[in-house]
Amino acid sequence: MTLLLLSNSTAPGRGYLEHALEEIHSVAGEAREILFVPFALADHASYTAQVAAALAPSGFSVTGLHEADDAPGAIAAAELIFVGGGNTFRLVDALHRHGLIDPIRSAVAAGIPYLGSSAGTNVACPSLRTTNDMPIVQPPTFDTLGLVPFQINPHYLDPDPSSRHQGETRELRILQYLEENPGPVLGLREGTWLRRDGNRLHLGGTPAGGRLFSRGSSPQEIPVGTDLSTMLSSS
């Protein structure tokens, strides 16, 4: 199983996916045809065109899953599956409504590399319960792909000590998650990613790193480069 789970698609001042291109090439191997899952945004065609334009200079061709007559068949035949960001609730609703959860799980188990960013990273977890997104649609269930056995919080954001905003900080939201669920939750700061190759898992990307939240422990800083393989057997 090969996964590349990006916190976010676009680094400040850089093009779409530009900060992660080298890593994307690494997980793609020989693959040059990307099957793109655009369901987290409303306009599937223009989202797919944007991704295709961004990845064409790198030698990738991109097809949107919304164009497939036989979506499960397209998934099974894919060289690489890329689930893009947007609204996680809309994405999860579409994956369930179109019956795509099991086909994607099977394809990834069979070795087709999975690339996710933001919402696409969230749905690689057991559930959407650690998304930052607004619940604009009600999916039939919060359960998602479970390609890793723990939760990720993409776009993880440290508290801003200068803020006068009275809404919950991200850390407080995740601690509330741990009140209701066993955890753990890995917050991925922007520019970072998780890479899984079989039973190996590590944190990559910018030095910002990650932050790990576990029940009964203080939150823990995770530097980029950390081997997190033990988290694959955590549940």
Could you list the residues that contact a second copy (CB under 8 A)? 8-12, 42, 86-87, 89-90, 118, 127-138, 141-142, 155, 157, 164-168, 173-174, 176-177, 179-181, 190
Closer by beta carbon to a second copy, 35 or else 155: 155
Q: What is the Cα–Cα distance from 214 to 220, expressed in whole angstroms?
A: 9
- Tell me which of 44, 93, 117, 133 is the catalytic residue: 133
Q: DSSP label at 129?
A: T
CB 177 within 8 A of CB 185: yes
- Alpha carbon 43 to its chain centroid, in Å, reads 20
Nearest approach, Cβ of 70 to a second copy (angstroms)?
A: 26
Q: Which of 152, 190, 191 is nearest to 174 (CA)?
A: 152
Closer by beta carbon to a second copy, 38 or else 103: 38
Is 155 assigned a catalytic role?
yes
Nearest approach, Cβ of 232 to a second copy (angstroms)?
A: 23
- Tell me which of 44, 98, 118, 214 is the catalytic residue: 118
Closer by beta carbon to a second copy, 106 or else 176: 176
Closer by beta carbon to a second copy, 129 or else 232: 129
Q: What is the Cα–Cα distance from 191 to 161, expressed in whole angstroms?
A: 22
Q: What is the Cα–Cα distance from 106 to 191, expressed in whole angstroms?
A: 29
Q: What is the Cα–Cα distance from 53 to 61, expressed in whole angstroms?
A: 9
Please report, for residues 85, 152, 178, the alpha-carbon distance to residue 117 in angstroms, rounded to integers and kept in the order given: 5, 11, 23
- β-bridge pairing 80-83 and 2-6: unpaired
Tokens of 45: 């065609």
Nearest approach, Cβ of 65 to a second copy (angstroms)?
A: 19
- Tell me which of 155, 160, 162, 218 is the catalytic residue: 155
Nearest approach, Cβ of 134 to a second copy (angstroms)?
A: 4
Nearest approach, Cβ of 109 to a second copy (angstroms)?
A: 25
Closer by beta carbon to a second copy, 13 or else 111: 13
Which residues does the annotation mark as catalytic?
118, 133, 155
